[in-house]
Amino acid sequence: MYFDLIKIFVPTAVAFFLGLFLTPLATHFFYKYKMWKRYSRSKIITTSVFPSIHNEEDELRIPRVGGIIIWVSVLITVLVFYLFSVLFPSGSSLEMNFLSRNQTLIPIFTLLIGSLLGLWDDFIQIYGTGKFAQDDKSWRKWKVFIISFLSLLIGIWFFYKLGMTSIHIPFAGDMILGIFIIPFFMIVALATFSGGVIDGIDGLSGGVLASIFGAYSAIAYANNQIDLAVFSGVVTGATLAFLWFNIPPARFYMGETGIMGLTITLATLAFLTDSVLILPIVALPLVITSLSVILQMISKKLRNGKRLFKLAPLHHHFEAIGWPSYKVTMRFWVLSVVFAIIGVILAIISR
């Protein structure tokens, strides 16, 4: 038991301090090559309220690929402990290696591919021209297609390679889905990705996602999935390192290379820990953020253009009614921690 805790906390700390070390180097690179958006959201969000809470100059002068720090720190940490077990084989070094086929191979692959796809999206908005560079609706449809295809591949792996055919319903037992677990995973992955719109205020997404991944580390540990608990902890540590430099005023934004990789990895963790129905509780800030956008769209269509919120996503609504951005961020952090704890408790007692 004690060694399992050491196995979780040591790589988590390594990822955190590695992120702190890499960030100044990465920041210099980001600013040297001007890796910020070419077009401001003010050109897309036409409501008159948005300019009052939005600093266009910051958006066009702050790099948007900060998520690189997270996934690079995670991958280096995985590689360090794997190579150490290969080059210096011993009982302890082999135990500390958390790269395993049945637990961490898929989430690591998901994080890498999702992050690279997100980086491609960021590069389009940094160096591209035309509608795609402005993240218009046609490009967003392509992103949905890309996430759908990636989640299809992961769902197929779950079903055919891992033999996953059911989901756990808290306090009720398992529900057999059979091959339908593939489209169900696709739906969950898309829903989780839609919560990525939370990346809109300095420090908001980093704090929220760190709480969520920390919760899944605890859930995996309770399931005796130690390697998966380590991986989730490492993501948490790397995200906290990102947050260290993203607390207002932010030195960079997470960008799609962070959001896309982390959200689809989160969906993967929910299935691997058999706690997918707990995910909406653990990740409640993502859920309400995504839901606010959906409700805003429905309201505008059914009520002749009338808005339910002054702005969507929800965090911008609170800014529009006068809350300072730091107050919005910190209250989302508090909610995230509270519901992460509630989710962990429910995941443990509902077995």
Each residue's pLDDT expressed in tens, for the chain with a length of 351 residues? 688 999 999 999 999 999 999 999 999 999 998 888 877 655 555 565 666 666 666 667 889 899 999 999 999 999 999 999 999 998 888 999 999 988 999 999 999 999 999 999 999 888 877 666 666 677 778 888 999 999 999 999 999 999 999 999 998 889 999 999 999 999 999 999 988 888 878 889 999 999 999 999 999 999 999 999 999 999 999 999 999 998 888 889 999 999 999 999 999 999 999 999 999 999 999 999 999 999 999 998 888 888 898 888 999 899 989 899 999 999 999 999 999 999 999 999 987
For tokens 């392509």, name the residue: 142
For tokens 């490492």, name the residue: 234
Domain count across the chain: 1
Global confidence as pTM: 0.94
Q: Which two tokens stand for residue 27?
A: 């920041």
The answer to whether 84 touches 96, Cβ cutoff 8 Å, is: yes
Closest residue by Cα to residue 71 from 226, 214, 237: 237
Contacts of 317 by beta carbon, 8 Å cutoff, 6+ apart: 292, 309, 310, 311
* Count of CB atoms situated within 10 Å of the CB of 179: 12
Contacts of 334 by beta carbon, 8 Å cutoff, 6+ apart: none
Say what the pLDDT of residue 245 is. 92
Residue span of the structural domain in which 90 resides: 2-349
Cα–Cα distance for residue pair 244/246, rounded to 1 Å? 6
